[in-house]
């Protein structure tokens, strides 16, 4: 019998085809932890307006970034799984996706059937929010498999030190006017209902900056990106801040994206294409990004150590009956 570790990421379409992207978006945007509107109201809008309009656009983005190994998110998650398995040779390390394949419940049952006795579930998101973690937790609990769930790791010093080193390595290469910590946004309605995400993001920036040696604190700004829909989301918005910087004559920026531990649609297409174009069109010059963890050795070792730490100090969550 072995201990088990299940790494959980967001997910990706099976292929960049319109049909597969539509199926992925339908599952993702039907999640009421993501879009909290009543189903009777939201589903006709989703099926009648959002999916027809958004599918082809998203499919085009996926086609631009697709690799021989598939979606970068999936490929890097596979690399993380392999490296963490090497760091934990006596464990059974697997991964699953919150949306799409492989499914959380299926993989947990497979791990249990193999005899894994203590299973740690580790969502690959440093900061907790309802819109990512609650669905993962619900699916884990619906499996009936007893687990230890790590809900966040933004405040782990080793994680902060790894990110700080990446920033310190990137910053001296050019004369940057600003260093922007950009996090995936969430609706303000979630924050007002008590979601701790905004506070954890701000604490992430502060924690990382304690270890950063090269960057003056007055050059650092925390913003949010990836807004969806007409309702207010966490501000400041990245795109608006980039235009403000260019207008103030600050034309060289370095972007840090702690929400994304691997390159994905938001880093490759949203930032390196759309936000880059916005900044350049506004008069910006240099738009560089600190690479995400992308399966780096030290980050994978951190994930392994964090999982061991969880078993030593944490308790198993009570499983619900199978749905």
Beta-strand relationship, 147-149 and 119-123: parallel
The answer on pLDDT for 314 being more than 70 is no
| Domain co-membership, 277 together with 305 | no
Give the whole-angstrom CA distance, residue 317 versus residue 141: 8
Residue 163 included in any domain: yes
Give the whole-angstrom CA distance, residue 45 versus residue 34: 15
CATH at 238: 3.40.50.1400
- Whole-model pTM: value is 0.95
Host domain of residue 254: 157-289
The answer on pLDDT for 319 being more than 50 is no
Band of pLDDT at residue 231, cut at 50, 70 and 90: very high
Band of pLDDT at residue 229, cut at 50, 70 and 90: confident
Q: What is the pLDDT of residue 313?
A: 80
Identify which of 111, 147, 93, 122 has the alpha carbon closest to the alpha carbon of residue 9.
122
Residue 319 included in any domain: no
The answer on pLDDT for 17 being more than 90 is yes
| Domain co-membership, 28 together with 144 | yes
pLDDT digits (tens, 9 = 90+) for 133-189: 999 999 999 999 999 999 999 999 999 999 999 999 999 999 999 999 999 999 999
Residue 267 included in any domain: yes
pLDDT digits (tens, 9 = 90+) for 154-164: 999 999 999 99
Give the whole-angstrom CA distance, residue 100 versus residue 79: 18
Residue 276 included in any domain: yes
| Domain co-membership, 202 together with 69 | no
Determine if residue 266 is labeled as part of a ligand binding site.
yes
| Domain co-membership, 116 together with 242 | no
Determine if residue 184 is labeled as part of a ligand binding site.
yes
Q: How many domains does the structure of the chain reveal?
A: 2
């Amino acid at each position: 019998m072995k201990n088990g570790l299940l790494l959980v990421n967001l997910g990706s379409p099976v292929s960049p085809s319109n049909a597969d992207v539509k199926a992925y978006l339908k599952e993702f945007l039907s999640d009421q932890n993501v879009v909290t509107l009543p189903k009777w109201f939201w589903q006709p809008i989703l099926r009648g307006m959002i999916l027809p309009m958004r599918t082809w656009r998203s499919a085009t983005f996926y086609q631009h970034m697709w690799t021989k190994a598939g979606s970068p998110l999936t490929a890097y998650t596979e690399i993380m799984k392999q490296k963490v398995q090497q760091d934990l040779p006596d464990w059974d390390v697997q991964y699953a996706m919150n949306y799409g394949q492989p499914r959380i419940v299926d993989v947990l049952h497979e791990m249990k059937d193999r005899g894994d006795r203590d299973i740690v579930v580790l969502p690959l998101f440093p900061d907790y929010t309802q819109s990512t973690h609650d669905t993962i937790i619900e699916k884990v609990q619906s499996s009936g498999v007893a687990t230890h769930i790590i809900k966040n790791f933004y405040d782990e010093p080793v994680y902060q030190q790894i990110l700080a080193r990446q920033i310190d390595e990137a910053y001296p290469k050019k004369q940057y006017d600003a260093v922007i910590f950009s996090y995936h946004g969430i609706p303000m309605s979630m924050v007002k209902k008590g979601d701790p995400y905004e506070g954890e993001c701000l604490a992430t920036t502060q924690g990382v900056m304690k270890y950063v040696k090269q960057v003056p604190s007055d050059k650092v700004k925390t913003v949010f990106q990836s807004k969806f829909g007409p309702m207010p989301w966490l501000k400041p918005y990245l795109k608006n801040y980039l235009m403000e910087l260019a207008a103030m004559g600050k034309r060289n920026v370095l972007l840090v994206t702690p929400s994304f531990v691997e390159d994905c649609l938001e880093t490759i297409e949203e930032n390196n294409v759309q936000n880059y174009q916005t900044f350049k069109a506004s008069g910006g010059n240099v738009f560089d990004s600190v690479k995400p963890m992308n399966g780096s050795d030290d980050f994978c070792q951190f994930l392994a150590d964090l999982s061991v730490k969880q078993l030593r100090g944490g308790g198993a969550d009570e499983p619900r009956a199978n749905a």
